[in-house]
Amino acid sequence: MCLTITFIFCLIAARLIYVQLCWSNELKLRATDQWNREIPIIAARGNILDRNGVVLAGNQSTFSVFLRPNAVKNAEYTATVLGGIFNVDANEILNKIRGGKISEITVARQTSKQAVEKLVSYGLDGVYYARDNSRNYSYDDALCQVLGFTASDGSGIAGVEKFYDNVLSGKNGEISYTTDIVGIETENPTVIYSEASAGDSIKLTVDIDIQLAAEEAMKSVYVSSQAKAVSCVVLNPQNFDILSLVNYPSYDLNDVPRDDTDRLNALTRNSVISDIYEPGSTFKVITAAANIEEYLLGNTNAFSNSYIFNSSRTRTVDGTKIKCWSNHENGKHTNQTLSMALNNSCNPCFTDIALSLGSQTFYKYLQNFGFGNVTGIDFNGEALGMLVPQTAVRDCDLARIGFGQTVAVTGIQLACAVASAVNGGNYYVPRLLKSIVSADGKSVAENKPVLKNKVISDEASHILAEMLEGVVKEGSGTHAYIEGYRVGGKTGTAQKYEDGHVAQGKYVSSFTGFFPANDPQYLALVIVDEPQGTYYGSTVAAPVAKQIFEDIIRIKNIQPFV
C-alpha cells in the first residue's frame, strides 16, 4: 500500500515539475491568448516592375472585416447589416454568431473604403476591420500568363506571383488588445501594436514597351489567321533575358475568371514554357550548327558548305520515305549546298546530315542545346520536351529529328537553343528576374546571367548566323526581311499529330529570327497553332516577327546597320 501511495505521489510530483518547468511558457501563451484579441495588419505586397522600373503589378488599399461572435450584442441586426453592406448571406452569419464554436469570422476581404465607412456609421459591437491590399495590374491582360495573380488572402497562386511569393510577401503585423474571458473588449484595454513589414519588389527582365508591341502583333495574327492559339517569346541572345513573352488568347488580370476553373486553367497556362510541340524546320538550325562545328573539328562525316547534296527530293530510311516539301521540277534540288538547303528548307539534306553524324555525335549536340531537359527558367511548370532516348533511336528516327520531326520541344527550349547557336555558342539559363528591390527602393539582390555551357565555337556560330541571314535575304524567310537591317532566321511548318496519326489540315507555323545577324541583340520565336487557310511559317509567322522587330527598332531608335 505504501509503495502504491509513494508511486502515485512521485507521478504527481513529476507532472507538477513538468508543468512548472517545461510547459510554463506555452501555458502562459494560452492564457494570454484567452485574454487578448488581435486584429491583423496585412503587409503590403511587393510590386512587380519591368526592367526599366515601370509598375506592372501594384497594390490598392482595401480592407478586411472581422466579426467576434462573443462580443456581438444584437445578433440579428448585426447579421442583417453586414449582409447588406458586403453582399454576404445574413442567415449564414447569424448561424455562425449563434453557433458558439467560432471565435472569429472573416466577413469580407479586399472590400472598399466606402463600404467600411458605411460599416463604421452603424457602430456595431463585435465588428472590426483592418487594412489589407488588393492587387492591381497596370496593363490588364498584357503579360497575364507570366505575372499570374494572387488569392483573396494576397498570396501568389500563379505565374511569378507564385514563383516569387516568398520575396513579394511581407510579414503581417497585428493590433492586440485585452478582452474579458468571453472575448469582449475591456473598458480600458491594453493595446499593443506590431508593425507589418512590406514585401520586397521584383524587377523583371521584361521590357513592357516590347511586350505591348509583341502583344499587338500576336493578337493581329491570331485574328487574321483564325488560329487556335498563338505565342511568342523575345529574348536577348547575349544573356537570355526574357524581354517579352506572349500567349493568346489571354485574360484580364483585374477580372480573373475564378468561377470557371477549366477556362481559368486554359487561359493561365504559359504555353511557351509548359507546352510541347513538333518544331519542324526551325529545328534545322540545330542540325546545321552541329554539322558546321563537326566540320571545323575535322569530322570527315560532316559536310562543308561547298559539298553538293544529292539532288533527289526523297530519301528512304528503314523503309520510310522522306521527301521535301517542294517539287523537283522547280529546281530547288539541283546542286544544293548547306546554305541553299537552309534557304530552301530541304528535308533530305538535313536527313543526310543527321545520319552522317550518327546518333552518338548528334545526341551530344541535342543534349548540349538543352533538348529533353528543362532550361531552368525561373517559372513553375516547365516541360521537359520529348526526345527519343539515344539507346532506342533508330536511323529513321534520327533522320526525322534532323529536320524537326520525331522530337518535341517547348518554345523556350527552342528559343534558347537558337540563341546560343547564333550568339557565339553560349547557352545561358533564361531568366525573368532581373533584381530584387526593397520597399524603400534599395537594391537587395541582382540576378546575374548564368552561363550553362558552350554549345559550339565562335567560328561555327558566326558561319551559321551568316547562313541564316541568307535565309531572310533570299530564302524562305524573305517575309522577315527589313531593308537596312541584318536579320537572320528560319521558318518552320509542322504537321500536328493526334492519337499517333497525322491530323489532316492541322499545322503549327513558326519562325525564329534575330538581329543584327552579325551581333544578335534580339531574338524572337513566333508560333501560330492551327492557322486556317495559308499555313506556311514563311507566310504566316515570318511577317509577325518582322513586325515585332520593326517595333523594337522604333522603340529603341535603332539606326540601320548597313
Q: Please answer whether residues 271 and 249 qualify as being in contact, where contact means their C-beta atoms are separated by less than 8 angstroms.
A: no
Q: Which helix (H) or strand (E) holds 119?
A: helix 113-122
Cα-based angle 206, 208, 212 (whole degrees, multiple of 5): 120
Q: State the alpha helices, DSSP H only, in 226-337.
A: 261-268, 271-274, 284-296
Q: Which helix (H) or strand (E) holds 204?
A: strand 201-204
In this structure, which amino acid lies at residue 11?
A: L
Q: Please answer whether residues 253 and 147 qualify as being in contact, where contact means their C-beta atoms are separated by less than 8 angstroms.
A: yes
Burial class (CB in 10 A: 0-12, 13-18, 19+), 483: exposed
Question: Which one of 281, 339, 461, 510 is the catalytic residue?
Answer: 281
Residue 370's CB is within 10 A of a number of other CB atoms, namely 26
N-to-C CA span, the chain: 108
Q: Please answer whether residues 543 and 216 qualify as being in contact, where contact means their C-beta atoms are separated by less than 8 angstroms.
A: no
Q: Please answer whether residues 408 and 276 qualify as being in contact, where contact means their C-beta atoms are separated by less than 8 angstroms.
A: yes
In a 13 Å sphere around the CA of 93, the CA atoms on its Cβ side amount to 28
Q: Please answer whether residues 515 and 522 qualify as being in contact, where contact means their C-beta atoms are separated by less than 8 angstroms.
A: yes
Q: Which residues contact 237 (CB under 8 A, 6 or more apart)?
A: 419, 420, 422, 423, 514, 520, 521, 522, 523
Pairing mode of beta strands 48-49, 201-204: parallel
Q: Which residues pair with 409 in a beta bridge?
A: 277
What letters, b where the CB count within 10 A reaches 16 and e where it falls short, cover 223-242?
Answer: ebbebebbbbbbbbbbbbbb
Residue 11 CA to residue 16 CA, distance in Å, equals 9
Q: Please answer whether residues 323 and 314 qualify as being in contact, where contact means their C-beta atoms are separated by less than 8 angstroms.
A: yes
Give residue for cell 521590357.
207
Residue 527 CA to residue 396 CA, distance in Å, equals 26
Residue 157's CB is within 10 A of a number of other CB atoms, namely 15
Which SS3 state, helix, strand or coil, does residue 307 take?
A: coil
Cell of 372: 529533353
Answer yes or no: 420 catalytic.
no
Give residue for cell 491594453.
190
Question: Dihedral of CA 324/330/336/341: which sign?
Answer: negative
Catalytically active residues, by annotation: 281
